[in-house]
Amino acid sequence: MALMITDECINCDVCEPECPNDAIYQGPQIYEIDPNKCTECVGHFDEPQCQQVCPVDCIPVNPDFQESREALMDKYKRLMKENSDKKSEKLD
């Protein structure tokens, strides 16, 4: 599952730098999570890092993105491959 940020977000900026997948970004009103990039931190950490640091507990599971741990691991591998492809493009 991906996580999502609710409208209780106070725009404190704390979660954004903690995300290992660069899935968190500033939206028009509050911070948002790109579900295509959020692996619930699978592949990087045991616990979702954004949930750990959010002072108002406004980062629940996104009910529209129910994924198994295997699917999250596949997403993690895809993201890692995309990142390494981007790095090699820069070196070319």
Residues near ligand SF4, by CB under 6 A: 3, 5, 9-15, 18-19, 21, 23-24, 31, 33, 38-41, 48-50, 53-54, 56, 58-59
The residue among 43, 40, 25, 41 whose CA lies nearest residue 81 is: 43
In terms of CB distance, is 37 or 88 closer to ligand SF4? 37
Residue 92 Cβ vs ligand SF4, minimum distance, rounded to whole Å:
29
Q: Give the Cβ contact number of residue 67 at 10 Å.
A: 19
Q: Give the Cβ contact number of residue 61 at 10 Å.
A: 15
Residue 87 Cβ vs ligand SF4, minimum distance, rounded to whole Å:
20
In terms of CB distance, is 10 or 85 closer to ligand SF4? 10
Spatial separation of the C-alpha atoms in residues 92 and 90, rounded to whole Å: 6
